[in-house]
Amino acid sequence: MSKVTYIFGAGASKNALPLINEIPSRTEQLVQTLEQDNLALDNKKFSVLKEEKTKRNFQLELISDLKWLSKTISNHSSVDTFAKKLYITKNFSDYYRLKLALSVFFVFEQARNKPDIRYDLFFASILSSTSVLPSNIRILTWNYDYQFELTFSNYINQYDLKSLEDYLSVDSKFFEKPYSQGFRIFKLNGTIGLFRDGFNNYRFINKINRQFDLGMIHEVIQNYATIKSLHDLKISLSFSWEPESNQTKLIDRVIQDISNTEVLIVIGYSVHFFNREIDRAILNNMKNLKRIYIQSPEADGVKERLLASMVQTSGIEIINKYNTEQFYLPNEL
């Protein structure tokens, strides 16, 4: 049985979540929804916080942050470009504001839209009759969304996000999992959530199947208010250039686990220039790589950028797959 590694990009979730150029307009739609009178929080205070501001005050503050997110991204080529600019100029106040607003945006978007149906077919195809995950598959994803967890929850009737991450062996920046030789998901850009140094069991929502309603809005905004009030909480959504405080770096754990990969499948990932250092480290440490499948309507361009990241390409067959109706499942599985 061949060792198979997947690399997922934003295009892998495009049937549920916006692509980079769609974030501003989708943020505006979310703002319009949150401004509806029937979804307004009351003027009481959050009992868990020692704050003078009311629930409604925090809701309006979040709406202001989302408007700012939409406007600032519209003025840049992508959210990554704006984030890199803030990081380089050491504008960490807006950098943190960007990550917080983006995190809340994706939490709400996942509740407002059904998961990308292709994840369901993927799990149905690779799972055994006893819901055992195949030990020869590794998944590297540049996405910080919960599409894997959200889809998989319906296979095991478990909706606690922390439990789902443990079941799927989700490993990411700030949330290191003990090493195992079985199925594993590595989130290269972190994941939507919160963390405090030494503790990592914080999420914007605890139950992944929450419906988008007033109750969910209350839960998310309470966590948003907690972040605003307790400055020792941090955002676990990250970018490739952002350093880790962990003793064992995520990329080191990834390289250790995927070094004997024989088949690589790249799905919905355009091979971003910003990610080039991580991409090079991953690709050039796959010493046994024999075949690469690139699944994208723009597979030719992806292939060119992928090859530019690789030192050794002789003996490696590269096959383009332009049909994106379902995630590609190679014969080697």
209 and 275 in a single domain? The answer is no
Q: What is the pLDDT of residues 160-207, one digit of tens each?
A: 988 899 999 999 887 777 777 789 999 999 888 887 765 555 678 888
Overall domain count for the chain: 2
| Least confident stretch, 71-75, 97-101, 248-252, 325-329 | 248-252
301 and 277 in a single domain? The answer is yes
186 and 280 in a single domain? The answer is yes
pLDDT of residue 200: 55
Is residue 270, in this structure, part of any structural domain at all? Answer: yes
pLDDT class for 225, splitting at 50, 70, 90?
A: very high
Q: What is the number of other CB atoms lying within 10 angstroms of the CB of residue 35? A: 12
Distances in Å between the Cα of 54 and the Cα atoms of 48, 67, 213, 315 are: 12, 20, 19, 63
pLDDT class for 66, splitting at 50, 70, 90?
A: very high
Q: What is the pLDDT of residues 261-311, one digit of tens each?
A: 999 999 999 998 889 999 999 999 999 999 999 999 999 999 999 999 999
pLDDT of residue 246: 59
**What is the average pLDDT across 224-229?**
88
pLDDT of residue 262: 97
Q: What percent of the chain has pLDDT over 70?
A: 97
3-class DSSP state of 19: coil
214 and 267 in a single domain? The answer is no
- Could you please report the per-residue DSSP string of 133-164? PPTTEEEEES--S-HHHHHHHHHHT--BHHHH
Pairing of strands 4-8, 184-187: unpaired
Question: Which pTM value belongs to this model?
Answer: 0.93
Q: What is the maximal distance between C-alpha atoms in the chain? A: 66
Distances in Å between the Cα of 238 and the Cα atoms of 17, 24, 274, 294 are: 18, 19, 13, 25
pLDDT of residue 265: 98
pLDDT of residue 245: 64
What is the spatial distance between Cα 233 and Cα 58, in angstroms, rounded to a whole number?
17
DSSP class of residue 38? G
pLDDT of residue 199: 55
**What is the average pLDDT across 42-47?**
92
Residue 150 maps to which CATH number?
3.40.50
Inform me whether the pLDDT recorded for 26 exceeds 80. Answer: yes
Inform me whether the pLDDT recorded for 46 exceeds 70. Answer: yes
- Six-digit token string for 227: 């972040």
204, 219, 237 - which closes a domain: 237
Inform me whether the pLDDT recorded for 248 exceeds 90. Answer: no
176 and 258 in a single domain? The answer is yes
125 and 273 in a single domain? The answer is yes
pLDDT of residue 296: 96
241: left (phi over 0), alpha (psi -120 to 50) or beta: alpha
Q: Which structural domain, as residue segments, surrounds residue 228?
A: 20-114+195-237
Mean per-residue pLDDT over the chain, rounded: 91
- Could you please report the per-residue DSSP string of 93-119? HHHHHHHHHHHHHHHHHHHHSPPPHHH
145 and 175 in a single domain? The answer is yes
